Structure 1
Amino acid sequence: MSDQKHVIIIGGGFGGISAAKELRNSGMKVTIIDKNNHHLFQPLLYQVATAALSPGDIAVPIRAMFGKFSNIQVILGEVTNINKREHALELKDGRTFEFDSLVVAPGAQYNYFGNDHWADNAPGLKSISDALEVRERILLSLEEAEQIDDPKLREPFLTYVIIGGGPTGVEMAGAIAEIAKRNMMRDYQNFSKNESRIFLVEAGPQILNGFPKSLAEKARQSLEDMGVSVLLNTPVTEISENQVTFKEGSIETPNIIWAAGVAASPLMNSLGEPQDRTGRVMVNKDLSISDHPDIFVIGDAAHLEEKEGEPLPGLAPVAMQEGRYVGKLIRQQTPVDEREPFHYVDKGTMATIGRAKAVADVKGWKVSGFVAWIIWSVIHIFYLIGFRNRIKVFVEWMWYYFSFKRGVRLITNRFSK
């Protein structure tokens, strides 16, 4: 019987990968389990959805990242249950695994606030398949509009509704505006860019909630200047096929994109721990769960309050710092009473709006426009995994910046609407 400690990491996202990197050549057996075979750089997923990048530009096979480390095993599978008392977990296919330490980092899913049937008509952006579906909906809609002579009848196919005014919604609205108002219109002859309508719908009083109000307002103005209608204080009441309904009217379109909120993975229910209203598990200051110091929850699945009663946001930098912290605790086998509490170092928040347009709040330094876009671009390229990915994305961005042309405009699956 081997005395080698077995660490299981659930999830190959930012948190899980960061934890695994800390455990390379640690002398421990490390198993990464993910239902996908790749690590996905989600912050750039919207660029796949809007035909700026290919899936391979922002995704790397997990095996390729750890193949040279003999102590790390990668398993393609979906964890459905965690037995914290027995230190074991079960996969969807019935396989079971025992562990000495567990890092739970399964990411999040979109939250439709009790209206899960909306997902069929308003896909979100959490996976490559989501992005490809959104991309093909957009492209198919343009193709259909090209074949309709009556401007009134083709109006729905040139209308886009993005629900949710967070960074994903803002970035998606800006990217679609560039497609609809400039990039792809040169390829179509039967309608003009002025027929396109883009709506960014937010239930609250401002977009980019959590950003300084001045930056949020600059972002809203930039979107308006690009032709996006920003609807504030406008909660959605119903989504049906080809229609979004609000309290004071509706919009007809097959192009509905959901970016309005996330919820933790349903897997968290199996831990039997207190959870917040979005399903995130309440964790200790060392990111472990109650009475189980060898089980850690990080990233979008964890609820940890650091100041003013507000939980840490579900951002990639938070998950990465948590992953490194937990990985070090496990590698060093730090006793519970000697663990320093996790502390998140906030390096700032930023969101891009479009070509050479962004907003950033970096340690109190508020900047917008071209300078913010440069900062956003450099940071996102830096965090991409793999030299090849960084170079390729940089080249794609430069090509788009000077040519105004988006490259990946293929329709392959013809998603039904």
Structure 2
Amino acid sequence: MSSLAAVFAVFLRLGVTSFGGPIAHLAYFRDEFVARRRWESDSAYGELVALCQFLPGPASSQVGFAVGLRRAGLAGGLAAFAAFTLPSAALMVAAAASVDTVSGPVSAGVIDGLKIVAVAVVAHAVWGMARSLAPDRPRGTIALAAAVGVLLVGGPWAPVVAIAIAGIAGALWLREPDPAASVPAAARVTVDTAPPPSAGRRVGITALVVLVVVAAAAPVLARVTGNGAVALFDAFFRAGALVFGGGHVVLPLLESAVVEPGWVDAETFLAGYGAAQALPGPLFAFAGYLGALADVGPGGVAGAVIALLAIFLPGFLLLLAVLPVWAAVRRRPRATAAVGGASAAVVGILGAALYDPVFTTAIVRLDQFALALVCFGLLALWRCPAWVIVLLGAAAGAASGALVS
């Protein structure tokens, strides 16, 4: 397969099997692209995750876009986005036609089983990333501090602040790479030798200009023209541009964008959110459901497409603009140490998310904890691919639901 076709095929499968929300998606990506395919090293992947966590937008989709960009250029980034988003977007448009199709104890059991799978997948990712990104006392301490801070402070800004503080701590505290120094290899902070993915400086500048122009022009055009499609685009573009902290954070922004003006009623909004929780792929695909049902714009598939493109666009434009700048500064000694600190913080942030919300929402009984342990063992000891674990968790959840009924 060509690189572009391989990117599309792999991300399409991930779009079908990646349940559990953005933190779980990052774990699925690491299993696929670091552990299995070796498309990324752990350090390069941790660097991408730290960068995308710091930027507004859908972090897991941005990481996927960057992986596709490195593998097959700009077309690869777009292929990764399209393939990863398509399954959930199509399902959300279908849910817009009938939001009550998923019901009953068996369906609820399947959803519970998939949540348990997310516990195992995230735990496996934290374990693997901790060994490579926080292998010594300084970085381990940064990871623990980030986990404690995120758990105690909470809120969408906590991961962003934790990464920023960890970057400063890394620049001040961690040792710069010096082969001549008598520093243990594990204590030396290094960056991956491969440069970060980038479409080039010209594309980055163009992306930044487009981002600024669209952000300024869309609300003006919506008000001047009174066009429903433009108003729909503007509402979802602003929501996508203001999100820090992942897909769940966008929900209050979307609620204020579509429920408050009366485009979608509150009951329909909440029903769609429930459906989005049960589906694989990015939670931002919820925008497709809202765009299809909104009272403004074309509605249906066309409305879904407008909403989806609008909500993802600002995050991708900003990523394209930032990557060339990051490529130019990342190899400087202080930047290298800052990357080490930020990457260690990513381990802590994922560890905090493993507890809340992943573990706390999925594990409430001993049999669920036992299933999570089995799934973790299959991943860590037997090297089973994640999609096998997804099928096992769904089957076990369905069986549990059938027994309850």
TM over 0.5: no
Greater C-alpha Rg: 1
TM-score for the superposition, normalised by structure 2: 0.28
Structure 1 or 2: larger helix share? 2
Structure 1 or 2: larger strand share? 1
TM-score for the superposition, normalised by structure 1: 0.27
